[in-house]
């Protein structure tokens, strides 16, 4: 089968960035036959047309249940599909579920050929979520910065403080009330809205 | 110190007993600190329960059995000590298919035999004219929806594997798929049938209770090993779910229950459409026609919460009938042992409770006998299993 040269891999993922990260990793590792499906309409028909050896799907995708249908006896299925993971692969399932990805393998592909694909997939998915977390943190830090600046402005205007004094006042209030300065700043914005 | 538990669910009305148990404080009252985790696929729920990311889950009854038998995936024995709901599904068809069935029907449209025979005539006419086979959506290979659709159409002479196409669709995609013609009909749980009717893209043809009087739908599932290690925690969880089911069944609480279930982090659909399904008063046609049934969805009443091994046997028989597994006496025993009325009785302090009616009450074929599945299945001509 074609899998002897380079297995055909289909990535089912609605996130174009994550799919690109994974695709790049697979290509670097020498897997040239990689196709990305981002459109979930008629998913099974698309997959049958591509006739892949391995299908990778993210766990946030409700269409994972659609893929489970490939295990069924059906005229539409040309090649039997098997889960790569078997009873002895509890650690592999755990690692892939933790990373947020699942792999479906067509029967006939040797286990030792699948392992590097799955490992790469898991590490790229983990790298993506780390990136996402960092992005989220940066975003919320930026948001907090804006809130603090606006609260400072209000204190300066209402209490006639300098910028530094306004900041020190929020900081000490936060420490006294065991809250984050962002929370204090938000309370000031809310209060000022109410008192308008 | 409360016991922390992570429990997975799919946003469907039949997760009501679980969600209300948590959100109305029944689990807290039992000393449990439950975090509900909303999931997007049954595969995820199954896998996360299997590997222990979830302590318990809202699960399709047939998936609990398939998992215990190692069908379709790795084998992990599951225990189902509480039935989250009986019935609750419906078959919805596109306006075009509805019109076609109605033009062929002889008899009452509420009679599933009449509609199944009409469907057979529609299918035959389409074949003659060279039209594409009809496509039916359902939620999972090991789902009540799959078996209910198959049981219904096969009774009218339609072979679900030869005459039509059955495709898996995630519930949230059902309505769109019907609207854009990707499927001609579907079988799914609440609220999606009502959503299709409200949008004018579907007619509810049948409540599943037309097809089967009493059908186990979703169970509260735990790993069997976990149930053995944590008997007291499990008993507390069963009691909390049972109390929540009782709460939901009180008509005076329905509005509040629907309101809680409607929250974005729970089902995330309108409270009104949820209450309709809890009350069993459904709008079945875009023209506003309504239909009422006291059997549409049973959450706790008529002994619905107590798991019935005969239901598990019926589901196993469907797996055999449709070629998902072979007939084996030990597999039947394993399947029946997934449903645990003993754990339910222990938790509720009602030892030896008499089982409520265990009749499946199918509209076609002989009465179901868990003791003679081969004899039962040989009464049906369409199917993969041959005596």
Q: What does each of the 196 residues of chain A score in pLDDT, given as a tens digit? A: 444 578 889 999 998 999 999 999 999 999 999 999 998 888 888 888 888 888 899 999 999 999 888 766 554 455 555 554 555 567 777 888 888 888 887 766 676 777 788 888 888 888 888 888 888 888 888 899 999 999 999 999 999 999 999 999 999 999 999 999 999 999 999 998 888 7
How many residues in chain B? 387
Residues spanned by the domain of A186: 138-194
* Interatomic CA distance for residues A20 and B74, integer angstroms: 30
DSSP string covering B315-342 = HHHHHHHTTSS---HHHHHHHHHHB-HH
Tally of domains within chain B: 2
Q: What's the burial of A62, exposed, middle or buried (CB within 10 Å: 0-12/13-18/19+)?
A: buried
Select from B327, B291, B293, B343 the least CA-distant residue to B86. Answer: B293
Q: Considering CB atoms only, which of A69, A97, A102 is closest to B168?
A: A69
Could you say which DSSP state residue B142 is in? T
C-alpha dihedral, B27 to B33 to B38 to B44, nearest 10°: -110
In a domain, B170, yes or no: yes
Give bridge partners of residue B221 from the DSSP assignment: B57
Q: Does A59 touch chain B (CB under 8 A)?
A: yes
- Within this chain, do residues B110 and B256 fall inside the same structural domain, yes or no? no
Cα A72 from Cα A84, distance rounded (Å): 16
Strands (E), B261-312: 281-283, 290-292, 297-298
At A161, which CATH number?
1.10.10.10
CB count in 10 Å sphere of residue B363: 16
Can you tell me the mean pLDDT for B348-372? 80
Residues 78-107 in A contacting B (C-alpha not used; CB under 8 Å): 83, 85-87, 90, 93-94, 97, 102
Residues A33 and A110 in one domain: yes
Q: What is the CATH number of the domain that holds B111?
A: 3.40.190.10
Q: Which helix (H) or strand (E) holds B61?
A: helix B61-69
pLDDT averaged over chain B?
A: 95
**Nearest by CB: A65 against B42, B75, B165:** B42
Does B204 lie in the same domain as B171?
yes
In a domain, B288, yes or no: no
| DSSP symbol at B47 | H
* A108 in the same domain as A79: yes
Looking at the fold, whether B239 and B138 belong to one and the same domain comes out as: no
| Average pLDDT of the residues in B223-236 | 98
- Do both B76 and B61 map to the same domain? yes
Residues B219 and B327 in one domain: yes
Domain that holds residue B190: 89-211
A62 → closest Cβ in B51, B173, B324: B173
Q: What is the pLDDT of residue A186?
A: 93
Residues B197 and B94 placed together within one structural domain of the fold: yes
Separation between Cα atoms, residue B298 and residue B295, nearest integer Å = 6
| CA dihedral of B245, B251, B253, B256, whole degrees rounded to 10 | 110
Q: Are residues A129 and A145 in the same domain?
A: no
Last residue of a domain, one of A88, A116, A134: A134
**In-domain check, residue B281:** no
Tell whether the torsion through CA atoms of A148, A152, A155 and A158 is positive or negative: negative
Q: Which two tokens stand for residue A18?
A: 């994550």
How many CB atoms within 10 Å of residue A116? 13
SS3 B35: strand
* C-alpha atoms less than 13 angstroms from C-alpha of B215 in its C-beta half-sphere: 32
Together in a domain, A80 and A163: no
- CB-based contacts of A33, cutoff 8 Å, min separation 6: A2, A6, A7, A8, A9
Residues of chain B with C-beta less than 8 angstroms from the C-beta of A80: none
Beta strands in A47-187 (DSSP E): 54-58, 81-83, 101-106
Number of folded domains in chain A? 2
- Beta pairing partners, B90: B188, B207
Boundary (domain end) residue, out of B165, B190, B211 = B211
Eight-class DSSP state of B133: P
Do residue B233 and residue B123 come from a single domain? Answer: no
pLDDT value at B299 more than 70? yes
> What is the rounded average pLDDT of the residues B357-382?
91
| Shared domain check, B194 and B178 | yes
User: Based on the domain organization, do B43 and B98 belong to the same domain?
Assistant: no
B380 alpha-carbon distance from chain centroid:
22
Residues A67 and A163 in one domain: no
Contacts of A41 in chain B (CB under 8 A): 182
Residue A79: per-residue pLDDT: 55
Q: What is the 3-state secondary structure (H, E, C) of A6-52?
A: CCCEEEECCCHHHHHHHHHHHHHCCCCCEEEECCCCCHHHHHHHHCC
Same domain, yes or no: A84 and A18: yes
CB count, 10 Å around CB of B243?
20
Q: Domain check: are B93 and B10 in the same one? A: no
Residue B186 domain-assigned? yes
Q: Say whether both A130 and A143 belong to one domain.
A: no
Considering the domain boundaries, does residue B136 fall inside one?
Answer: yes
Whether B382 is in a domain gets the answer no
Q: Which residue of B has its CA nearest to A69?
A: B141
Q: pTM of the entire structure?
A: 0.87
The residue of chain B with its CA nearest to that of A58 is B44
Do A49 and A95 sit in the same domain of this protein? Answer: yes
Q: Is B107 left (phi over 0), alpha (psi -120 to 50) or beta?
A: left
Alpha-carbon gap: A14 to the closest alpha carbon of chain B (Å): 14
Q: Which of A44, A68, A75 sits opposite B43 (nearest CB)?
A: A68
Segment B134-142 shows an average pLDDT of 96
Smallest Cβ–Cβ distance between A71 and the set B75, B139, B141 belongs to B141
Distance, in Å, from the CA atom of B334 to the CA atom of B345, rounded to the nearest integer, reads 20
Q: Which residues of A touch B324 (CB under 8 A)?
A: 72-73
Contacts of B318 in chain A (CB under 8 A): none
Whether B286 is covered by a domain: the verdict is no
Q: Which one of B48, B75, B165 has the shortest CB-CB distance to A87?
A: B75
Q: Tens of pLDDT along B51-101?
A: 999 999 999 999 999 999 998 878 899 999 999 999 999 999 999 999 999
Report yes or no: A171 at the B interface, CB cutoff 8 Å: no
Cβ-count burial of B302 within 10 angstroms (0-12 exposed, 13-18 middle, 19+ buried)? middle
B43 touches chain A (CB under 8 A): yes
Is residue B332 one of the residues assigned to a domain?
Answer: yes
Kind of pairing, strands B56-60 and B216-223? antiparallel
- pLDDT digit string (tens) for B244-281? 999 999 999 999 999 999 999 999 999 999 999 999 99
Same domain as B190, residue B120: yes
Q: Are residues A19 and A94 in the same domain?
A: yes
Domain containing A94 — which CATH number? 3.40.190
Confidence (pLDDT) at B150: 98
Residues A130 and A142 grouped into a single domain: no
Token digits of residue B71: 């069908």
Contacts of B203 (CB under 8 A, 6+ apart): B92, B93, B94, B95, B98, B197, B284, B285, B286
Asked if residue A166 and residue A71 are part of one domain, the reply reads: no
Question: Does the distance separating the beta carbons of B139 and A68 come in below 8 Å?
Answer: no
Instruction: Please check whether residues A143 and A114 belong to one and the same domain.
Output: no
Q: Does A74 touch chain B (CB under 8 A)?
A: yes
Residues B219 and B207 in one domain: no
Q: Choose the final residue of a domain: A134, A158, A183.
A: A134
pLDDT for res A2: 44
Mark which of A119, A134, A149 sits at the end of a domain.
A134
Tell me if B40 and A68 make a contact (CB, 8 A cut-off): no
- What ipTM did this prediction achieve? 0.89
């Amino acid at each position: 089968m074609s899998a002897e040269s380079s297995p055909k891999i289909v990535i089912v993922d609605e996130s174009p960035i994550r799919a690109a990260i994974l695709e790049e990793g697979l290509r670097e590792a020498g897997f040239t036959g990689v196709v990305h499906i981002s459109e979930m309409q008629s998913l099974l028909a698309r997959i049958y047309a591509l006739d892949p050896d391995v299908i990778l799907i993210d766990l946030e995708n409700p269409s994972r249940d659609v893929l489970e249908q490939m295990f069924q006896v059906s005229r539409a299925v040309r090649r039997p599909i098997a889960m790569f993971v078997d009873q002895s692969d509890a650690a592999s399932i755990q690692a892939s579920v933790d990373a947020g990805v699942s792999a479906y393998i067509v029967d006939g592909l040797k286990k030792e050929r699948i392992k590097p694909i799955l490992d790469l997939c898991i590490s790229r998915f983990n790298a993506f979520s780390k990136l996402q977390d960092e992005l989220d943190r940066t975003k919320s830090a930026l948001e907090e910065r804006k809130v603090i600046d606006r609260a400072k402005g209000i204190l300066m205007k209402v209490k006639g403080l300098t910028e530094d004094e306004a900041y020190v006042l929020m900081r000490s209030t936060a420490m006294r009330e065991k809250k984050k300065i962002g929370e204090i700043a938000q309370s000031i914005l809310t209060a000022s809205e109410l008192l308008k | 110190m409360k016991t922390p538990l992570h429990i997975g669910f799919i946003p469907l009305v039949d997760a009501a007993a679980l969600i209300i148990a948590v959100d109305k404080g029944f689990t807290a009252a039992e000393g449990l600190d439950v975090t509900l985790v909303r999931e997007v696929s049954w595969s995820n729920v199954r896998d996360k329960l299997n590997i222990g990311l979830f302590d318990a889950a809202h699960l399709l009854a047939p998936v609990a059995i398939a998992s215990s038998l190692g069908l379709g995936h790795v084998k992990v024995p599951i225990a189902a000590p509480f039935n989250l709901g009986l019935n609750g599904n419906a078959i919805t068809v596109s306006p075009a298919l509805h019109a076609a069935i109605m033009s062929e029907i002889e008899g009452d449209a509420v009679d599933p035999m009449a509609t199944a025979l009409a469907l057979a005539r529609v299918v035959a006419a389409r074949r003659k004219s060279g039209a594409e086979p009809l496509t039916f959506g359902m939620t999972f290979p090991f789902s009540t929806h799959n078996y209910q659709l198959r049981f219904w159409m096969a009774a009218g002479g339609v072979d679900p594997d030869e005459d039509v196409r059955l495709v898996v669709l995630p519930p949230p995609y059902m309505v769109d798929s019907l609207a854009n013609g990707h499927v001609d009909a579907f079988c799914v749980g609440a609220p999606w049938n009502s959503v299709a009717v409200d949008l004018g893209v579907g007619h509810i043809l049948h409540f599943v209770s037309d097809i089967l009087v009493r059908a186990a739908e979703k169970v509260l599932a735990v790993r069997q090993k976990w149930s053995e290690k944590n008997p007291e925690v499990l008993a507390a969880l069963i009691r909390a779910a049972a109390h929540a089911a009782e709460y939901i069944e009180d008509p005076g609480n329905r509005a509040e229950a629907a309101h809680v279930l409607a929250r974005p982090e729970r089902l995330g659909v309108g409270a009104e459409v949820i209450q309709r399904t809890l009350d069993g008063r459904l709008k079945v046609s875009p023209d506003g026609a309504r239909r009422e049934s006291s059997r549409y969805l049973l959450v706790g009443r008529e002994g619905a919460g107590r798991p019935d091994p005969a239901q598990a046997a019926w589901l196993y028989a469907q797996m055999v009938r449709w070629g998902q597994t072979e007939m084996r006496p030990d597999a039947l025993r394993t399947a029946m042992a997934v449903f645990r009325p003993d754990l339910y009785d222990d938790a509720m302090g009602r030892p030896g409770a008499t089982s409520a009616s265990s009749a499946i009450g199918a509209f076609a074929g002989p009465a179901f006998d868990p003791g003679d599945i081969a004899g039962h299945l040989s009464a049906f001509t369409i199917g993969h299993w041959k005596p």
